[in-house]
């Protein structure tokens, strides 16, 4: 009885297992059928079918459907981006061709004007040649005159030199005459002194004569007293008196002569003095004349030097004239050639204008082809499409984005496609990259938001992890600006209408499952935790940790905080691996898997450790193929850039309601099993 019960229980368990397997298989089959139906309808915004990795027929079909969807999405996003690039190129080409057409019309018109003015130029060149020939004769006459002036100045200089020499010789002779006059004057002075002495001797003789006369008078008196005895004395006295009178008379005559001599000497002295004064005055005048002659000579030499220099310059002018004449002749020939070429250019310009018109037609055809491609792309539902309703005024929407790794470049591509879609609807969308530099990054972001508000933007979409901006966002809302977040939600959910983001907790759980399989269901794993002020990092970690706790043989042994910076991720990953080489899988919550993979290789842990991270980009393909990266979870960067703009546009135009406060974006997985197909 007991055996039958056991057998019955076993049979019941087998039956239940079969039922469960059948139900599970049926559920997977239903999901595969549903996904296949959606793909046939062109709806690509569907989740991947879970694959167990046991290589069953269901897993193979599920993997194929997932791959078809992923490749179609990749193709669609790439095509959308290419249409943006082509559309921009066509627009630029159209503008360029229009400008080129107008320029060609101007060139054609200007060419005719050039042709006319070239003919005028040719006439002017010919007239100029005549003037040049006339100027040549005048230049030659000026040159000859300058040569004559130089020769005359040279002769003037020689004459001036001789005059200076004669003046100097005359001055020397006058100096001799002056010296002779001075000697005569000195001699006369000495002669006058001698005459003065003669006067003194005469006075002495007159005195003796007077005494002799007095003595004679006394002798006469004594002779009278002596009577006869004194008659001889009387005779002597009489003679003495006579001699005294004669002496006086002689001296008077001598004095008269001396007076005349003195007067004549005074006249001579006065004449000599006048001569000396006259000579001195003449000498000063001659000095001035000599100085004038020297100045004339100096100026003459300077003029001669200047004229010599001018003459040299004139000779240069003559040489330049010859060259100018040659150039003018060639210019005349060139003007004739230009005149001929201008006619050819006018003809070519007309041909170019016609060709530009043809290119314009081809560009219009290309633009039409792009419109057709957009319509074809519209048949595939990869996300949200713009409403067919039209706004009564221009709608302006801005999307702010980080710009520091490949994920955000994908956001930019999606936003640019939305920009092109809305351009056709007379709406304006703008992608606003946030590039941090030195200084206060939060203030820089606040200024960006203030600027958008000042420009009267109707809506602003921003990553929810931006900090320090609540104040300006509150001000924006008060002014009627609509807000939406993406990538992760903000702390004050009352500010925004909705948030488009991946399910970060679910992503963490998917990363834990990938780590479990990469570690062969047992071993140590680690966490590279990004900035914990970003909600997305916190939720990914939570989903990972909670899911790992369900795997008995998987243990989290290391957790390191890393900055949102590639260099920091590389350095800390390498340091962790050099410290603990027993870690099989490292889960990176932020967006720098390439730097973490490089650290795995440089730490010589390739084949022992791999990275599980986010955001598939071409730069990661080789790391996935060589095993440095085990799994990459994608979070639809293109859609995160595109879809929020279109959702907001539809809401502003026709009050389309958001599907909820949170809108989930697609998630997909890339690893060694599908990377070749994805490439």
Q: What is the pLDDT of residues 648-665, one digit of tens each?
A: 999 999 988 999 999 988
**Comparing 81-85, 251-255, 602-606, which segment has the lowest mean pLDDT?**
81-85
Per-residue tokens: 110: 């200007």
The CA-based angle 557-561-563, given to 5 degrees, is 150
Give every CB contact of residue 544 below 8 A, 6+ residues apart in sequence.
508, 509, 511, 512, 515, 527, 587, 589
User: What is each CA distance from 48 to 25, 510, 620, 676, in whole angstroms?
Assistant: 16, 12, 21, 18
User: Is beta strand 629-634 parallel, antiparallel or unpaired with respect to 668-671?
Assistant: antiparallel
Delimiting residues of CATH 1.10.287.950 domain(s) in the chain: 73-382
Delimiting residues of CATH 3.40.50.2300 domain(s) in the chain: 394-501+643-656, 503-634
**Mean pLDDT across the chain:** 77
Say if domain 503-634 classifies as CATH 3.40.50.720: no
Q: What is the pLDDT of residue 246?
A: 74
- Give residue 426's pLDDT band: very low, low, confident or very high (50, 70, 90): confident
CA 608/CA 182 separation, integer angstroms: 131
Smallest CA-to-CA distance from 599 within 528, 662, 670, 535 is with 528
Residue of 676 and 552 predicted with greater confidence = 552
Q: What is the pLDDT of residue 2?
A: 47
Residue of 193 and 382 predicted with greater confidence = 193
- Give residue 67's pLDDT band: very low, low, confident or very high (50, 70, 90): low
Residue 563 predicted with pLDDT over 90 = yes
CA 58/CA 55 separation, integer angstroms: 8
Residue 73 predicted with pLDDT over 50 = yes
Residue of 366 and 252 predicted with greater confidence = 252
User: What percentage of the chain exceeds 90 in pLDDT?
Assistant: 30
Residue 383 DSSP SS3: coil
**H-helix or E-strand spanning residue 631:** strand 629-634
CA 402/CA 56 separation, integer angstroms: 43
CA 88/CA 95 separation, integer angstroms: 10
CA 672/CA 679 separation, integer angstroms: 11
- Give residue 101's pLDDT band: very low, low, confident or very high (50, 70, 90): low
| pTM as predicted | 0.54
**Comparing 353-357, 411-415, 437-441, which segment has the lowest mean pLDDT?**
353-357
Q: What is the pLDDT of residue 28?
A: 62
The CA-based angle 136-142-148, given to 5 degrees, is 140
- Give residue 447's pLDDT band: very low, low, confident or very high (50, 70, 90): very high
Residue 623 DSSP SS3: helix
The mean pLDDT of 135-159, rounded to a whole number, is: 68
Residue 371 predicted with pLDDT over 80 = no
Q: What is the pLDDT of residue 431?
A: 97
- Give residue 633's pLDDT band: very low, low, confident or very high (50, 70, 90): very high
- Give residue 422's pLDDT band: very low, low, confident or very high (50, 70, 90): very high
Smallest CA-to-CA distance from 556 within 541, 547, 545 is with 545
- Give residue 21's pLDDT band: very low, low, confident or very high (50, 70, 90): low
User: What percentage of the chain exceeds 70 in pLDDT?
Assistant: 56
The mean pLDDT of 169-190, rounded to a whole number, is: 69
pLDDT in tens, 480-506: 999 999 998 888 889 999 999 999 999
Q: What is the pLDDT of residue 378?
A: 53
Say if domain 73-382 classifies as CATH 1.10.287.950: yes
CA 208/CA 214 separation, integer angstroms: 10
User: Under CATH, domain 394-501+643-656 is a member of which superfamily?
Assistant: Response regulator (3.40.50.2300)
The mean pLDDT of 317-336, rounded to a whole number, is: 67
Q: Is 424 exposed, middle or buried (0-12, 13-18, 19+ CB in 10 A)?
A: exposed
Q: What is the pLDDT of residue 139?
A: 63
- Give residue 564's pLDDT band: very low, low, confident or very high (50, 70, 90): confident
pLDDT in tens, 329-355: 676 667 666 666 666 666 666 666 666
**Comparing 205-219, 452-466, 528-542, 623-637, which segment has the lowest mean pLDDT?**
205-219
Residue 525 predicted with pLDDT over 60 = yes
Give every CB contact of residue 29 below 8 A, 6+ residues apart in sequence.
58
**H-helix or E-strand spanning residue 482:** strand 482-486
Residue of 632 and 13 predicted with greater confidence = 632
Q: What is the pLDDT of residue 584?
A: 96
**Comparing 41-55, 452-466, 483-497, 612-626, which segment has the lowest mean pLDDT?**
41-55
DSSP state of 620: G
């Amino acid at each position: 009885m007991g055996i039958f019960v056991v057998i019955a229980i076993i049979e019941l368990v087998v039956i239940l297992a079969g039922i469960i397997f059948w139900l599970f298989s049926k559920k997977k089959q239903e999901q595969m059928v549903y996904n296949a139906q959606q793909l046939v309808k062109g709806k690509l915004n569907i989740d991947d079918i879970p694959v167990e990795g046991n290589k069953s027929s269901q897993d193979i079909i599920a993997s194929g459907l997932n791959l078809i969807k992923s490749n179609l999405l990749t193709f669609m996003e790439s095509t959308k981006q290419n249409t943006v690039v082509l559309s921009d190129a066509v627009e630029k080409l159209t503008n360029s061709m229009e400008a080129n057409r107008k320029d060609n019309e101007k060139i054609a018109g200007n060419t005719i004007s050039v042709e006319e003015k070239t003919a005028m130029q040719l006439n002017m060149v010919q007239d100029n040649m005549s003037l040049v020939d006339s100027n040549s004769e005048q230049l030659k006459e000026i040159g000859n005159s300058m040569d004559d002036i130089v020769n005359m100045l040279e002769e003037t200089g020689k004459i001036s030199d001789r005059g200076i020499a004669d003046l100097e010789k005359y001055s020397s002779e006058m100096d001799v005459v002056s010296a002779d006059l001075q000697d005569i004057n000195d001699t006369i002075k000495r002669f006058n002194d001698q005459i003065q002495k003669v006067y003194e001797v005469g006075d002495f003789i007159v005195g003796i004569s007077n005494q002799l006369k007095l003595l004679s008078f006394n002798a006469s008196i004594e002779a009278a007293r002596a009577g006869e005895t004194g008659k001889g004395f009387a005779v002597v006295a009489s003679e003495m008196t006579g001699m005294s009178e004669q002496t006086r008379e002689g001296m008077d005559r001598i004095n008269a002569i001396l007076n005349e001599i003195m007067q004549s000497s005074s006249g001579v002295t006065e004449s000599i003095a006048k001569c000396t004064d006259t000579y001195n005055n003449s000498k000063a005048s001659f000095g001035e004349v000599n100085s004038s002659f020297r100045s004339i000579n100096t100026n003459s030499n300077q003029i001669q030097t200047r004229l010599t220099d001018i003459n040299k310059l004139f000779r240069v002018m003559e040489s330049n004239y010859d060259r100018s004449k040659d150039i003018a002749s060639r210019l005349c020939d060139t003007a004739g050639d230009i005149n001929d070429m201008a006619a050819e250019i006018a003809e070519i310009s007309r041909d170019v204008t016609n060709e530009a018109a043809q290119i314009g037609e081809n560009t219009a055809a290309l633009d039409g082809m792009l419109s057709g491609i957009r319509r074809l792309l519209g048949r595939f539902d990869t996300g949200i499409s713009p409403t067919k309703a039209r706004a009564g005024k221009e709608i302006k929407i801005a999307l702010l984005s980080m710009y520091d790794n490949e994920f955000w470049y994908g956001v930019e591509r999606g936003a640019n496609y939305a920009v092109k879609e809305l351009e056709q609807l007379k709406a304006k969308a703008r992608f606003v990259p946030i590039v941090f530099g030195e200084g206060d990054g939060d203030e820089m972001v606040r200024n960006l938001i203030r600027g958008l508000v000042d420009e009267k933007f109707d809506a602003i979409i921003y990553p929810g992890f931006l900090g320090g901006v609540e104040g300006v966002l509150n001000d924006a809302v008060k002014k009627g600006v609509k807000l939406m977040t993406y990538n992760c939600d903000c702390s004050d959910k009352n500010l925004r209408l909705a948030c488009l983001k991946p399910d970060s907790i679910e992503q963490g759980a998917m990363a834990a499952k990938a780590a479990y399989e990469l570690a062969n269901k047992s071993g140590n794993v680690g966490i590279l935790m990004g900035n914990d002020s970003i909600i997305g990092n916190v939720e990914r970690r939570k989903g990972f940790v909670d899911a790992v706790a369900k795997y008995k043989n998987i243990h989290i042994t290391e957790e390191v905080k890393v900055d949102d910076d590639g260099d920091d991720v590389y350095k800390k990953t390498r340091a962790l691996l050099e410290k603990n080489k027993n870690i099989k899988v490292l889960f990176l919550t932020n967006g720098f898997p390439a730097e973490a993979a490089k650290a795995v290789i440089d730490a010589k842990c390739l084949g022992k450790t791999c990275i599980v991270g986010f955001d598939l980009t071409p730069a990661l393909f080789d790391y996935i193929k060589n095993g440095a990266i085990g799994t990459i979870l994608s979070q639809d960067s293109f859609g995160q850039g595109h879809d929020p703009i279109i959702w907001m546009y539809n809401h502003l135009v026709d009050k389309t309601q958001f599907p909820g406060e949170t809108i989930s974006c697609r998630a997909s997985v890339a690893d060694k099993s599908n990377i070749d197909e994805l490439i």
